[in-house]
Amino acid sequence: MFWQLRWQDMRWTSFFSPTLRDAPADAEAPSHKLLVRGGFIRQLHSGHYTLLPLAFKVRKKIIQIVEQEMDMIGGQEMQMPTLQPSSIWKESGRWDSMGDIMFRLEDRHGGEAALGVTAEEIFATVANEISSYKQLPQMWYQIHTKFRDEPRPKSGLLRVREFTMKDAYSFDLDEEGLDTAFDLQHQAYLRIFSRLDLDVIPVEASSGNMGGSDSIEFMVQAPSGEDDVMLCSSCGYAANIEKAVSRLDDIADSDGPAEPEKFATPGIRTIAALEEAGHDGKRQIKTMVYVIDGQVTLALVRGDHFINEQKLADATQANHIRPARREETVEYLGAEPGSLGAVNVENIPIFADFALQNRSNMITGANENDFHLSGVDISRDITVTGWVDLREVQDGELCANCGSVLSKVSTIESGHIFKLGTKYAETFGAKVLDADGKATPVVMGSYGIGIERAMATIVETHHDDNGIVWPMSVAPFHVVITVIQMKDDKSVEVAENLYNELTDGGIEVLLDDRDARAGVKFADAELIGIPLRVTVGPKGIADGVVEIVDRQSGDMESVEINKVISNLKERMK
Ligand SMILES: [Zn+2]
């Protein structure tokens, strides 16, 4: 009969949740280990996972929350193709700048195509059909598969090559409208992550190859996170390390000679070795050679500082950036790394970090192996193309806002929102007539959340030694009923009755009807992380009670059988 089939889905004996005793040998991140062990996911090949029924249930709940919050701010859901022609990517210039991250293929007619990495281009082409300012603002989104050819897929669902993304795009008449849309998304993101029980830190972020002005990332602190964030606990300053700044002490330089003086430094090829020879790192200029979109370029930071390559890429609006090869430094500067400098270098762009501004009497390589220059006055001796922020902030430096100590924390990027401006609208001719009848490009924003990454991030922050501890909002089941002895008819009867009543009451229940030891059943229930467990055993039934156990606290309560539903409903609030 139909109703029997319906119930049968939620019995452990028929529900497909293959739990494992051991995690995959290469798994390090807790979410990777637990989602595999708990029977949520299986790897097909590197970076591509099958979502089994438990994971699919969680994914659906996350998507529901995201959809509700997007719809609340006027989002209209639609869907774009995932297989996209190269033409639209060529028009925006990202066919090149996406580089190896983009999966590319050819169809039978030789037509070039790509699998969707993101969808600014396609949404902008659709926005072509908006013709008047009266149709603005618009907020569109989709929840669909994205592909990224990650160099090193790892950590289970945290870094994959195929995943579901919620990507939203806003279209406004002007910057003010964009600010409003951006703020609505920001607030919606805070609500989404709060409902997912993820404690996010909104941080200033680099926009990478997206283009546009501002961007904010929503980061979750976790040891397995691959993004570093600098945080100030006093004033709340928070920025991705690719964007973070800090306060530096001014350095007073003594007067130097009228021109740089060359001195021999045999065998000295590092800042540290020069320091050992008595030259403070603060008095040195570190010269690094990069090739940026085919152009050899010098980047200068103070000797004791470190460059952040994303900052250099942002400052130069680079598509491709790589350190120069040894033979290239010899060809362009006449020396090998360790003896390089920018004094008297012409015809090569030179970007210098702000911390070097106005410095004098400095030491740098002489562009002659085993020689350095002293007495270098940067404004006098080096033709700087651009003063920019290149320095990577270090743990323990001082906050630029308030002077307190900054700390570096590992985080997982869980969402990213961008102010794009008019770049894509101009490329794809998405223009509207404004109130004066003048054609003007629409102003766009773009807003993304990775759905499976959110799932993994919840596990990263919600687990213990025994397994996952799902928040109620996304748990695959609210309640598991564990029957201690399947041979005890009375137990089975009580469990069946509870199961039917709870299910009828809208509570999602998994009935553990396996003929297995209680210990095994408890361990599995804890591993897959169901928030509430009802234990039905002959001893309790004799007293008219069952046990309710809270997965998170481990607290156990004996509850009269006829009060189980009200008790569970109270706990689920
Ligand atoms: Zn501060």
Distance 10 CA to ligand 1 centre (A): 51
Instruction: Provide the pLDDT confidence category of residue 211 given band limits of 50, 70 and 90.
Output: low
Distance 391 CA to ligand 1 centre (A): 18
| pLDDT at 208 exceeding the cut of 90 | no
Distance 247 CA to ligand 1 centre (A): 10
Q: Using alpha carbons, select from 251, 252, 262, 258 the residue that is nearest to residue 377.
A: 258
pTM (predicted TM-score): 0.92
Distance 180 CA to ligand 1 centre (A): 27
| pLDDT at 8 exceeding the cut of 80 | no
Residue-wise pLDDT tens digits, 297-327:
999 999 999 999 999 999 998 888 999 999 9
Instruction: Provide the pLDDT confidence category of residue 393 given band limits of 50, 70 and 90.
Output: very high
Six token digits for residue 33: 């280990």
Distance 244 CA to ligand 1 centre (A): 12
| pLDDT at 164 exceeding the cut of 80 | yes
Distance 317 CA to ligand 1 centre (A): 29
Q: Compute the mean pLDDT over every residue in the chain, rounded to the nearest whole number.
A: 94
| pLDDT at 140 exceeding the cut of 90 | yes
Residue-wise pLDDT tens digits, 336-352:
999 999 999 999 999 99
Six token digits for residue 407: 């700390």
**CA torsion, ordered 493, 567, 467, 226, to nearest 10 deg:** 140
Residue-wise pLDDT tens digits, 541-558:
999 999 999 999 999 999
Per-residue pLDDT, 325: 96
Residue with tokens 């102010």: 419
Distance 218 CA to ligand 1 centre (A): 19
Residue ranges with CB less than 5 Å from ion ligand 1: 232, 234-235, 237, 399, 401-402, 404
List b or e across 218-244, with b for residues whose CB sees 16 or more CB atoms inside 10 angstroms: bbbbbebbebbbbbbeeeebbbbbbbb
Distance (Å, whole) CA 118 – CA 417: 13
Distance (Å, whole) CA 231 – CA 405: 9
Residue-wise pLDDT tens digits, 213-271:
789 999 999 999 999 999 999 999 999 999 999 999 889 898 889 999 999 999 999 99
Per-residue pLDDT, 209: 66
Distance 355 CA to ligand 1 centre (A): 20
Distance 106 CA to ligand 1 centre (A): 52
Per-residue pLDDT, 210: 64
| pLDDT at 189 exceeding the cut of 60 | yes
Percent over 90 (pLDDT), the chain: 92
Distance 396 CA to ligand 1 centre (A): 12
- At 506, is the secondary structure helix, strand, or coil? coil
Distance 353 CA to ligand 1 centre (A): 22
Distance (Å, whole) CA 525 – CA 468: 9
Distance 96 CA to ligand 1 centre (A): 39
**Pairing assessment for the beta strands 104-106 and 112-115 based on DSSP bridges:** antiparallel
Question: For 154, which DSSP code?
Answer: B
Distance (Å, whole) CA 537 – CA 482: 9
Distance 409 CA to ligand 1 centre (A): 15
Distance 248 CA to ligand 1 centre (A): 14
Per-residue pLDDT, 212: 66
Distance 228 CA to ligand 1 centre (A): 17
Distance 400 CA to ligand 1 centre (A): 7
Distance 222 CA to ligand 1 centre (A): 22
**Average pLDDT of the segment spanning 159-187:** 97
Q: Which domains does the chain have, with CATH numbers?
A: 30-244+408-459 (3.30.930.10), 261-388 (3.90.960.10), 477-572 (3.40.50.800)
Distance 249 CA to ligand 1 centre (A): 16
